[in-house]
Amino acid sequence: MLKTLRWRRWYINVYVIVGALLALHLDAGATLDIPRLVFVLVAVCVLSSANYALNEALDAQADAHHPEKKNRSIPMGAVNRSAIVLVAVILYLVGAAMIVLTQAYLLVLAYSCLLLSGLAYNIPPIRLKDVAYADFILEAVNSPIRLLIGWFTVSTSVFPASIFVAVWAFTIFLMAAKHFAEIRFIGDYERAVLYRKSFRFYDERNLLLAMVGAVSAFMFMLGVLVVRYEKNLIISMPLFIVFIVWLFVIAYQKQSFIQNPERVLSNKYFLLFLILLIGIVIGLGLYPRNIVNF
């Protein structure tokens, strides 16, 4: 039962904390209330587990055709699917009630977008998970929405559109890379289509094109952010390029962690590089003066 809630993937909700920190850095009127931020973070984690549980319940038959996901709790018969759906509904209600208690209109609106995104992704007849390109584009929007939730937890000002688009574009790249790696991992086209209906419209070429398009949009918006907010970040651009190229290399690996992000811990060199990149970006962002100008 706990595995279906995928609590180990709660780390993705760090975007909520990042959104709050961005607000504190960019909005002079933002105020940090740590108990409130923790409360909202817990609510987002509850919603994430609800989405994961619903996803696993509705994907049970399809997961049986995946080399690894066939070993999940429901395809193996270890957990009753109806029970998982009930748990998901309860978690949806709990998470929504927690956010309503904050009495913050913009925060409730952002949280509602995250909730509706999960429902539209999973539930028929909409079920955008089965629609080519819409599947990973919709899934990717959840990351900037989490930023919005963190931002509106500490601020009521307008969230910068450039940050939203940049994070969305980068996550689209990651989701397309995940599909690319999954198709290569499964190998058999017919089996891949049985696992996910949208895969009938994909091949390595068009997914690579999607990855290139998304990462191009990300780098462009990153340039906009550098000019608009932190000119010092231009120094980190070579590291971002290495980071992107490295992700392309990893996507070609059949056992890559892009399919299962928890495996990133097994790639210690990439993890160390990522920590270095994040540290440099934070350091350059906090440096009080412009090291470069243009």
Place of tokens 């939203």: 164
- Residue 15, domain member (yes or no): yes
- Residue 242, domain member (yes or no): no
- Residue 119, domain member (yes or no): yes
Torsion angle, alpha carbons of 227, 11, 96, 18, to 10: -20
Per-chain mean pLDDT for the chain: 89
The CATH number linked to 108 is 1.10.357.140
pLDDT at residue 170, as a whole number = 96
- Residue 58, domain member (yes or no): yes
Angle at 280 between CA 277 and CA 281, to 5 degrees: 85
Place of tokens 């180990």: 8
Contact in structure between 87 and 80 (CB atoms under 8 Å)? no
pLDDT range class, residue 23, cuts 50, 70, 90: very high
pLDDT at residue 215, as a whole number = 96
- Residue 223, domain member (yes or no): no
How deeply is 289 buried, as exposed, middle or buried, from its count of CB atoms within 10 A (0-12, 13-18, 19+)? exposed
Contact in structure between 161 and 29 (CB atoms under 8 Å)? no
pLDDT at residue 286, as a whole number = 83
Q: What is the pLDDT of residues 173-186, one digit of tens each?
A: 999 999 998 888 88
Q: Does residue 65 carry a pLDDT above 80?
A: no
Give the sign of the dihedral formed by CA 208, CA 209, CA 210, CA 214.
positive
Out of 15-24, 59-68, 74-83, 142-151, pick the least confident: 59-68
- Residue 269, domain member (yes or no): no
What is the rounded CA–CA span in Å between residue 207 and residue 199?
Answer: 10
Q: Does residue 83 carry a pLDDT above 80?
A: yes
70-82: average pLDDT:
77
pLDDT at residue 291, as a whole number = 82
242 or 265, higher pLDDT:
242
pLDDT at residue 87, as a whole number = 93
Q: What is the pLDDT of residues 130-140, one digit of tens each?
A: 899 999 999 99
What is the rounded CA–CA span in Å between residue 208 and residue 44?
Answer: 32
Q: What is the pLDDT of residues 223-256, one digit of tens each?
A: 998 888 888 889 999 999 999 999 999 998 877 7
Parent domain of 114: 1-155
Number of domains forming the structure of the chain: 1
Q: What is the pLDDT of residues 166-217, one digit of tens each?
A: 999 999 999 999 999 888 888 777 888 888 888 889 988 999 999 999 999 9
Closest to 261 (Cα-Cα) out of 140, 196, 174: 174
- Residue 110, domain member (yes or no): yes
- Residue 10, domain member (yes or no): yes
Contact in structure between 212 and 251 (CB atoms under 8 Å)? no
